[in-house]
């Protein structure tokens, strides 16, 4: 593995992070503890070392907590009202932008009330940042909920170096321009010094939209707008590889893996899906492909089982309720047809699991199915490879996940093509041990080259460069 990077920030200036959510959750005794999740794991130690600040929402409506510190990290809550949660978060962010950015086409339901709330919350974030960011500091804003913040903040505080990272895809200009407020969004992002994307296509789509909507010229990754230069860079996010490997190597995990396989009836092949229950993740298609393979006798319920873990998410949004109902209907239908007493063929958990349980499941999975229609990166694919310290296991991966650019030793598949998906699953199940090990070695080499700490360092170094070239 490459030299581990120090927890310190690569910058000589204070950093302020802004994300929709603060990186902490309330504990039962009314204190705070860092939340789980890769982004927090990547950035929290760095802020702790360099004494940084994080601005975000606590997750509770109307929560206007005073600024506080956890482990030396200053946290500045931004209040979001119950109405705004419905309009800004569930509405504009998750019911308008999310499907549009994942090319999940459906009838457009763009609402001015939702847009107004999105604008108001973005403005509140920008004002909070303007009030607290030290002179000449670096501000790093995250994701699609906050795309207007850079533009508003630039007006308020021209001294700051401003970066933005989009965790989800940026759509092709033909789709993006459906959005009534497309120009405002591009203007917002052009307030940055550096805008980061997961894949080269995201950066290219953004540059094309800036050109079409605002006549912004560009040379390579540099966009020119109103006398300023904005860089559009590519920074594929990763995971804390060392942490997953250490968890996977623990004795408790090894014992847990044996227990899981025994409880599943010691099948020959355990197929695994782990996703937030989101309609972009292709869970239904995967289940249908599995059912068709059982139907056709290409898989055998006595030898092949599937475990699908789906994390509850965005449960107030109707499209998510529909998706859950459809997946649970499919699981019931498949089990009804193909299971025998005490041995279901699909094991389905609608639960958020502790990270060590998830790592044990990854290790227990012989074939991992990651089949989103569209995904910024997909960290599950990387976690699976990191957990397979035994050097075995096959990853079936959608071409439409950002991870497909790097994880070329996976069995890559177009999940929109039923037959291709079924064939990819059979190829993974029947793959010879020698090929499995060769491919897994390739996947593991790749992820060990770029972990999440490296990702954060690369972004911040480029941001400092972009800020200097103003």
> Which string of b and e fits 78-89 if b means at least 16 CB within 10 Å?
bbbbeebbbbbb
To ligand ADQ, the closest distance from the beta carbon of 377 in angstroms equals 3
Q: Tell me if 375 contacts ligand ADQ by CB under 6 A.
A: yes
| Interface mask toward ligand ADQ for 305-324; x: CB under 6 A | ----x-x-------------
Stated as kind and residue range, the H or E segment containing 25 is strand 24-26
Tell me if 187 sits within 8 A of 147, measured CB to CB: no
Residues between 235 and 264 that touch ligand ADQ (CB under 6 A): 237
Q: Tell me if 353 contacts ligand ADQ by CB under 6 A.
A: yes
User: What is the radius of gyration, based on Cα positions, of the chain?
Assistant: 23
Strand partners, 1: none
Q: Tell me if 222 contacts ligand ADQ by CB under 6 A.
A: no
Burial of 249 (0-12, 13-18, 19+ CB in 10 A): middle
Among 48, 167, 228, 416, binds ligand ADQ (CB under 6 A): 167
DSSP code string of 358-418: HHHHHHH-SEEEE--SSBS--HHHHHHHHH-TTS--EEEEETTBGGGGT-TTSEEE-TT-H
Active site residues: 167, 375
- Interacting stretch for ligand ADQ, rule CB under 6 A, among 115-123, 334-342, 350-358, 406-414? 350-358
d(CA 251, CA 257): 10
**Residue among 35 and 292 whose Cβ is closer to ligand ADQ:** 35
Task: Count other C-beta atoms under 10 Å from residue 67's C-beta.
Answer: 12
- Interacting stretch for ligand ADQ, rule CB under 6 A, among 21-29, 248-256, 373-381, 451-459? 373-381
| Interface mask toward ligand ADQ for 113-152; x: CB under 6 A | ----------------------------------------
Tell me if 115 sits within 8 A of 194, measured CB to CB: no
Q: Tell me if 361 contacts ligand ADQ by CB under 6 A.
A: no
Burial of 183 (0-12, 13-18, 19+ CB in 10 A): middle
To ligand ADQ, the closest distance from the beta carbon of 56 in angstroms equals 15
Among 203, 230, 358, 404, binds ligand ADQ (CB under 6 A): 358
Among 379, 440, 443, 466, binds ligand ADQ (CB under 6 A): 379
To ligand ADQ, the closest distance from the beta carbon of 226 in angstroms equals 29
Chain residues binding ligand ADQ by CB under 6 A are: 38, 167-168, 237, 274, 276, 309, 311, 351-353, 358, 375-380, 383
């Amino acid at each position: 593995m490459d030299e581990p990077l120090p927890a310190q920030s690569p910058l000589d200036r204070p950093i302020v992070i802004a994300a929709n959510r603060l990186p902490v959750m309330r504990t039962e005794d009314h204190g705070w503890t860092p939340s789980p999740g890769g982004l927090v794991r990547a950035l929290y130690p760095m802020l702790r070392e360099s004494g940084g600040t994080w601005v975000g929402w606590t997750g509770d409506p109307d929560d206007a907590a005073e600024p506080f510190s956890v482990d030396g990290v200053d946290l500045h809550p931004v209040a979001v009202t119950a109405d705004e949660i419905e309009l800004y978060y569930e509405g504009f962010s998750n019911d308008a932008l999310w499907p549009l950015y994942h090319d999940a086409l459906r009838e457009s339901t763009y609402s001015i009330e939702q847009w107004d709330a999105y604008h108001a919350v973005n403005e509140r974030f920008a004002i909070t940042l303007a009030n607290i960011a030290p002179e000449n500091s670096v501000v790093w804003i995250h994701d699609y909920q906050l795309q207007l913040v850079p533009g508003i903040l630039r007006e308020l505080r021209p001294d700051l170096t401003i970066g933005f990272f989009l965790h989800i895809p940026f759509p092709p200009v033909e789709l993006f321009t459906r959005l009534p407020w497309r120009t405002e969004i591009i203007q917002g992002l052009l307030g940055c010094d550096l805008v980061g994307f997961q894949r080269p296509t995201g950066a290219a789509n953004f540059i094309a939209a800036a050109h079409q909507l605002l006549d912004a010229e560009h040379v390579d990754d540099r966009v020119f707008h109103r006398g300023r230069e904005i860089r559009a860079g590519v920074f594929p996010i990763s995971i804390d590889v060392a942490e997953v490997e250490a968890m996977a190597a623990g004795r408790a995990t090894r014992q847990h893996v044996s227990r899981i396989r025994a409880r599943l009836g010691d099948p020959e092949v355990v197929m695994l899906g782990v996703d937030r229950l989101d309609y972009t993740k292709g869970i239904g298609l995967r289940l249908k492909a599995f059912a068709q393979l059982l139907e056709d006798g290409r898989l055998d319920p006595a030898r092949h089982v599937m475990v699908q873990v789906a994390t509850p998410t965005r449960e107030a949004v109707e499209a998510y309720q529909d998706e859950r109902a459809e997946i649970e209907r499919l699981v019931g239908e498949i089990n009804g047809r193909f299971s025998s007493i005490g041995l279901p063929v699909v094991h389905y958990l609608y639960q958020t699991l502790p990270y060590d349980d998830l790592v044990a499941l990854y290790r227990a999975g012989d074939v991992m199915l990651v089949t989103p229609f569209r995904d910024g990166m997909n960290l599950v694919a990387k976690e699976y490879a990191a957990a397979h310290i035994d050097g075995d296991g096959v990853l079936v991966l959608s071409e439409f996940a950002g991870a497909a650019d790097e994880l070329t030793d996976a069995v890559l598949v177009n999940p929109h093509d039923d037959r291709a998906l079924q064939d990819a699953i059979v190829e993974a199940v029947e793959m010879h041990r020698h090929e499995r090990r060769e491919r897994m070695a390739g996947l593991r080499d790749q992820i060990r080259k770029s972990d999440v700490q490296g990702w954060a360092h690369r972004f911040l170094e480029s941001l400092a460069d972009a800020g200097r070239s103003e």
